[in-house]
Structure 1
Amino acid sequence: MDRFYRGNLITGLTGFKPAHLIGTRSKEGIDNLAIFSNVTHLGSNPALFCFILRPLGYGAGHTYENLKATGYLTLNHVNPSLIKKAHSTSAKFPVDISEFQELDIEKIERTGFKAPFVANSNIQVAASYVNDILIDENQCRLVICKITDVFLKEDYILEDGFLNLEEAESTIINGLDAYGKASLTHRYSYAQIETDVKPITYNKNETKSS
């Protein structure tokens, strides 16, 4: 298959994916921002997530180099107002160019945090580097990170901790270059053998189901 045809086809087979902007800072103080569609929850206690980096040397090295040098990053959800600029961060900018400045993306500096946040992101996560694993089959790297802090509106969270990503306008990606929004349709109680699951609310404005 043609390279781009194959990429479009294969990346769509695993379904919709979340859109995140990962922010890092180099030892020289240059901020980097890159879009990722493969961030995955890895565990709640400790709070871990992972993401995949393409083989180094193909435009994927800046995030990794910054992580190894400083140990910190931010994870920023992409909302509709950020989509075009977020997609543009996938371009191979030189290491001495900050995507924040080049693409006019507003950032937030928080005292005590060594990586920049995206100001217009509705859900912002601070994290630290834990480990990375080289995948022999394709030379990609699985990078493991630990969540340290979360910044978001309390309106997005229900009493049981459920996070309503539709309310937060978190964007999803289809394939490599198509963006959209998710719409929640069902939420059910914890599944147990010989017990029928019950619908539960996922919106603060709804009456809680019994």
Structure 2
Amino acid sequence: MELNKEAIEQLDRVTRLKIINSVSGIKPANLIGTVSEDGITNVAIFSSVVHLGSNPPLIGFMMRPKGNVPRNTYQNIIDKGFYTINHIHPEFVERAHYTSAKFDALVSEFERCNLTEEYVDGFKAPFVKESTFKIGLKFQQEIKIDINNTSLIIGEIEHLIIPDNVFGKNSNIDLTSSNTVGISGLNSYYSLNKIAEHPYARVKETPEF
């Protein structure tokens, strides 16, 4: 199949959405946990989490156009300033998937999707207890992208919970050992298998291929 710009524009909305959401490949599947000013917890699945820097340790994720659709995760982050990112594991993929449903702001996805809130060391946002790989972040910046009315939400890591068994040689993290799940498109989930590990790439050490 080959599609040019005109052909892509002529696709029906759902087909275009599925294709374009998949072409970037397998992405990390994460649950973002927040709490509202009224104390209602929220957890939602995101596939757009990305590393932005190590010093300071920054992670970003894309927030879709807000428009007339309530974005509880966004509002909670803006209001409270703290949130968590939690890896998804095979044991609760289905429950994680259904957090994407458009529940009312008064409904906690933790409760509705049978996930467990967990607070660690006084951190001000809920972690997902079922996840073994968790990140606590403080909101730092929102970068608005006018071309499609999305936003890049940037947070600084303040808390990390990582399983001991994922650390390989040279402090590399092995996501196969953490049993982390990936996602493609809107609803296809994948297990991750490590296939290789290579040294830091230096010009003088590059092999002759």
- TM exceeding 0.5: yes
* Aligned residue runs from structure 1 range 138-157, under 5 A: 138-157=148-167
Deviations 1:1-47 (A, max 9, x none): 11111111111111110000000011111100000001000001110
Task: Give unpaired runs (5+ residues) of structure 1.
Answer: 198-210
Task: Give unpaired runs (5+ residues) of structure 2.
Answer: 1-10
Structure 2 residue 79 is the aligned partner of structure 1 residue 69? yes
**How far apart are the structure 2 equivalents of 1:48 and 1:73?**
13
In structure 1, the partner of 2:100 is: 90
What CA RMSD, in Å, does the superposition of the two structures yield over aligned residues?
1.2
**How far apart are the structure 1 equivalents of 2:202 and 2:120?**
43
* Aligned residue runs from structure 1 range 6-45, under 5 A: 6-45=16-55
Aligned-partner residue type, residue 182 of structure 1? L
Deviations 1:59-87 (A, max 9, x none): 46111111111100000000001110111
What is the Cα deviation at residue 182 of structure 1?
1.3
Residue range with higher mean Cα deviation, 33-42 or 111-120: 111-120
**How far apart are the structure 1 equivalents of 2:67 and 2:171?**
40
**How far apart are the structure 1 equivalents of 2:203 and 2:62?**
35
Aligned length: 197
Deviations 1:96-152 (A, max 9, x none): 110001111112122411111111112011111000011100001110110011112
In structure 1, the partner of 2:196 is: 186
In structure 2, the partner of 1:106 is: 116
* Structure 1 pair 187–137 and aligned structure 2 pair: CA distance change class (3 A): same
**TM-score under structure 1 normalisation?**
0.90
SS in 2 for 1:89: helix
In structure 1, the partner of 2:147 is: 137
Aligned-partner residue type, residue 81 of structure 1? E
Runs of 4+ in 1 over 3 A off after TM superposition: 57-60
SS in 1 for 2:78: helix
Residues 54, 60 of structure 1: 8 Å contact kept: no
What is the Cα deviation at residue 183 of structure 1?
0.9
Identify the structure with the greater helix proportion. 2
**How far apart are the structure 2 equivalents of 1:110 and 1:154?**
17
SS in 1 for 2:34: strand
Residues 48, 146 of structure 1: 8 Å contact kept: yes
Structure 2 residue 129 is the aligned partner of structure 1 residue 119? yes
Aligned-partner residue type, residue 102 of structure 1? R
**TM-score under structure 2 normalisation?**
0.91
SS in 1 for 2:25: coil
Equivalent residue in structure 2 for 1:46, among 49, 56, 62:
56
